[in-house]
Amino acid sequence: MANEDTRGVKEYRESISLWVHEDDVVLEIGCEWGTTTALIAPRCKKVIGTDISPKCIAPAKERHPNLHFEMLDGFDVKAALDLSEHFRTIYIDMSGISGYQSLLDTIALLKMYSTVLRPEVIIVKIGALKHFAAHCMPWHSRS
Ligand SMILES: C[S@@+](CC[C@H](N)C(=O)[O-])C[C@H]1O[C@@H](n2cnc3c(N)ncnc32)[C@H](O)[C@@H]1O
């Protein structure tokens, strides 16, 4: 489990002031102890923090008793759909999908969420994806 500081989550958390709006319903996948969920909460209409681990959800509920937390496997998009909310913004910070080996899984996950839940914005914290995307350039034929 990570230390509760901003190591690795600085940009993820900085995005909140830019991308979260007061009318938004927000889903965070991989909320751990709910620290980012609690930063999102005052800036939106509703946020649900989710994590696969009961060892994270229990302390998250203890630390933030006024917030909504659920156990959820981020790969189970049907379970996210069953939360029955229209999420405008989805935050994803799942350990285990951070490396290059997981890029295809990550892209499939993003495609699934954008197709099934139809959010307007997905913020995903994955260093390998950022590195890869930063080095890509779409090719446009001149004809
Ligand atoms: C780096 S921590 C998240 C930190 C948190 N977002 C924050 O800003 O404080 C990664 C979390 O992903 C969770 N996780 C790993 N695999 C998951 C999955 N398949 N679905 C949901 N959560 C998952 C872990 O239990 C862990 O709590």
Residue 1 has a pLDDT of 40
Residue 7 has a pLDDT of 65
Split at pLDDT 50, 70, 90, the class of 23 is very high
Split at pLDDT 50, 70, 90, the class of 41 is very high
Residue 119 has a pLDDT of 98
Quote the ligand 1 centre to 109 CA distance (angstroms). Answer: 15
Query: Does 13 or 2 have the greater pLDDT score?
Result: 13
Q: What percent of the chain has pLDDT over 90?
A: 82
- Classify 91 as helix, strand or coil: strand
Q: Whose CA is nearest to atom 27 of ligand 1?
A: 32
Structure tokens at 59: 């302390």
pLDDT digits (tens, 9 = 90+) for 71-97: 999 999 999 999 999 999 999 999 888
The answer to whether residue 59 scores a pLDDT higher than 60 is yes
DSSP 30-46: S-TTSHHHHHHGGGSSE
DSSP state of 101: G
Q: Whose CA is nearest to atom 8 of ligand 1?
A: 36
The answer to whether residue 6 scores a pLDDT higher than 90 is no
Rounded to the nearest 10 degrees, how much is the dihedral formed by the CA atoms of 4, 51, 95, 87? -100
**Which backbone phi and psi does 17 adopt, to 5 degrees?**
-65, -25
Kindly provide the b/e burial profile for residues 11-49, where b requires at least 16 CB atoms within 10 angstroms of the residue's own CB.
ebbebbeebbeeebbbbbbbbbbbbbbbbbbeebeebbb
| Pocket lining for ligand 1, CB < 6 angstroms | 2, 9, 29-32, 35-36, 51-53, 56, 73-75, 93-96
Ligand 1 atom with minimal separation from the 34 CA: 9
Residue 142 has a pLDDT of 87
The whole-angstrom separation of Cα 6 and Cα 81 is: 30
Ligand 1 atom with minimal separation from the 94 CA: 12
Q: What percent of the chain has pLDDT over 70?
A: 95
Quote the ligand 1 centre to 95 CA distance (angstroms). Answer: 5
